[in-house]
Amino acid sequence: MRVLDIGNSRELCGGTHVARTGDIGLFKIAFEGGVAAGIRRVEAITGMNALDFVQQQNALLSRLARTLKAPAEESVAKVEQLLEQQRQLDKDIAHLKAQQAAAQGDAMLSQAIAIGGTQVLLARMDGLDAKGLREAVDRIKSKLKTAVVLLVSREGDKVQLAAGVSADRIGQIKAGDLVSAAAQAVGGKGGGRPDFAMAGGTQPAHIELALTQARALLQQRLGA
């Protein structure tokens, strides 16, 4: 499509010429958007095809209105309301997961063992997402003080790992090294800062092996 300047008129030319504009019939733009820098793409249909398109769109709008149990003119407002409710539910779920992670983390404090004068906690906390694992690791690490923490969570066929190391133990073991060693067992990899790192994997059946490899590395770095 070209832009033509004819006198005081600027028009779009699609390359198809008709004897009169009435031959075109209904003209409906179906799509308009950018396809490259400085280039826009416009797709339009005419005549009976355009009428069919409009009727299909009206049918979709009517179906949407019936699904929403609202008049067609209120469909947009209804969808926006539902999206806002969904956002609030997502916030509520995230808050509940954070509370769950905190409660589970507190319950696991007694499972920490001492390796070379360092409190070490290696455990599973299934059902937590990456954010929940991070919050749990930070909470446990802050309560154990001089500590190394590795938590592993399974969600379906995916595995999430999070490791935290207190500042006074970074010289002996970095969180990235710990989480990488464990992630290898579950077919994954990861990394991060010396005091916190995360990884993902795809072999949940090997989670116990991941914890075993992590313990072996800690015994080597921290001292049996």
Which domains are assigned to the chain?
2-68 (no CATH), 100-222 (3.10.310.40)
Closest CA to 166 of 148, 180, 188: 148
108 confidence band (pLDDT: 50, 70, 90): confident
pLDDT of residue 53: 93
Concatenating the DSSP letter of every residue in 84-98 gives: HHHHHHHHHHHHHHH
The number of residues making up the chain comes to: 224
The strand pairing partners of 65, in sequence order, are: none
189 confidence band (pLDDT: 50, 70, 90): confident
Provide the whole-model pTM: 0.64
Greater confidence (118 vs 94) lies with: 118
The predicted-structure confidence for 117-162, as pLDDT tens digits, reads as follows 899 999 998 888 888 889 889 989 989 989 999 999 998 899 999 9
